[in-house]
Amino acid sequence: MSKRVGIEVSIALADVVGMANTDVVAAYPITPQTHIVEHLAELVADGELDAEYIPVESEHSAMSACMGSAAAGARTFTATAGQGLELMHECLYVASAMRLPIVMAVANRALSAPISVWGDHSDVMACRDTGWIQIFTENGQEVVDIALCAFRIAEDNNVLLPTMVHLDGFHLSHVIEPIMMPEQSQVDAFLPPNKYPFFLDPARPQAMGDFAPPAIYTETKWAQEVNLQKSKETILKAWKEFAEIFGREYKPVESYRCDDAKILLLTMGSYSETAMTAIDAMREKAECENVGLLRLRLWRPFPTDELRKAIENADVLIILDRALSFGSAGGPVGMEIKSALYDVSKKPKIVNFVGGLGGRDITVGNFEELIKKGIDIAENGSENEFEIYGVRE
């Protein structure tokens, strides 16, 4: 049976990566993900994890090494954050196009300048079109669970795509939480050995990532898109089988107190739990008795059908983005959702906020204020396409 322990989320993540019998870890330390790879280095050095640990000179090299190990058929893991994720940016496209099932934890961090080590979602939004499966987490338990699921999903022969597990920097990465850590027997029952079908072998030479002239490039990109969209079937299957073993269920779009809700707030990541408390407070004070919360867990492939189903009875949808899309008509999540709902005949009024940049807290009281302001904008309109929440004039 699983055992509840008080543990730092980064350490718990590293422990479960070890329990997954990872073969290769290639990583470069960067705040706030450093504790993850430091602990993995300790596990390897102490003989608790039989793996190759490659201490590279940069994040670009880390992803390059991961691509080589995954292509050789090794179960491969890395972690990064912020500028580190952007330094490996060009490699991200290669890993997905070459169908390499790498698992990467991203401790989400704001991008410079000015320099910030604190968390928001600007790093992940800069990488949303790289072809990776991307899943968000809200607490330490979900980080552990989704990391295990990520290996199962990425390595499935119907998928073979790299997968990012997103955890908010500091708000999750450095927090000590009570987490149900799995037994090794449970991990082994859920996660089969990696059997990558296209592994590099000197006995049967092959080429990967060759030069592609215009006559075939479009077809290769379309095949990649079809494969990413089809991966949702395997994601749902993996989450269902995870629930059967561990008793915790995950969905692409998850709801909280939405059965009678006409006003919905949508969030991603660790701020969702604070938003839940705000929803409870507003209902208890009878300030807004028909408000609920949607949490977007699956970012890529985007869960269009599930989102449309979740908002079908809502009058107002208030979206909180934690990244700016400079020079545009809203935050990245807001624009994505507006696009997904464009052809829906009955849809709510959409209000898009951007907040929590550079790790700035959004408290329970702030969420209550944000919801009330969103309702007012939905009723009376605004001169702005989107609103920056909490900015000082």
Output the CA–CA distances (angstroms, integers) from residue 346 to 258, 259, 378, in the order listed.
17, 18, 15
Helix (H), strand (E) counts: the chain: 13, 15
CA–CA gap between residue 110 and residue 357 (Å, rounded)? 7
Any bridge partners for residue 52, and if so which? 24
What tens digit of pLDDT does each residue of 299-333 get? Answer: 999 999 999 999 999 999 999 999 999 999 999 99
Domain spanning 254-388, CATH class:
alpha beta
What are the residue ranges spanned by the domains of the chain?
3-246, 254-388
Rounded to the nearest angstrom, the gap between the alpha carbon of residue 277 and the centroid of all alpha carbons in its chain is: 22
CA–CA gap between residue 314 and residue 303 (Å, rounded)? 18
With H, G, I as helix, E, B as strand and everything else as coil, classify residue 134. Answer: strand
One fold for 3-246 and 254-388: yes
Q: What is the pLDDT of residue 233?
A: 98
Residue with tokens 């269902």: 240
CA–CA gap between residue 159 and residue 266 (Å, rounded)? 28
pLDDT band for 287, please (50, 70, 90 cuts).
confident
Helix H or strand E encompassing 264: strand 263-267
Instruction: Provide φ and ψ at 295, rounded to 5°.
Output: -120, 125
What tens digit of pLDDT does each residue of 30-51 get? Answer: 999 999 999 999 999 999 999 9
- Paired tokens of 384: 């702005």
What tens digit of pLDDT does each residue of 340-384 get? Answer: 999 999 999 999 999 999 999 999 999 999 999 999 999 999 999
| 263-267: strand order across its sheet | 253-256, 291-296, 263-267, 316-321, 349-354, 387-388
Find out if CATH 3.40.50.1390 is the number for domain 3-246. Answer: no
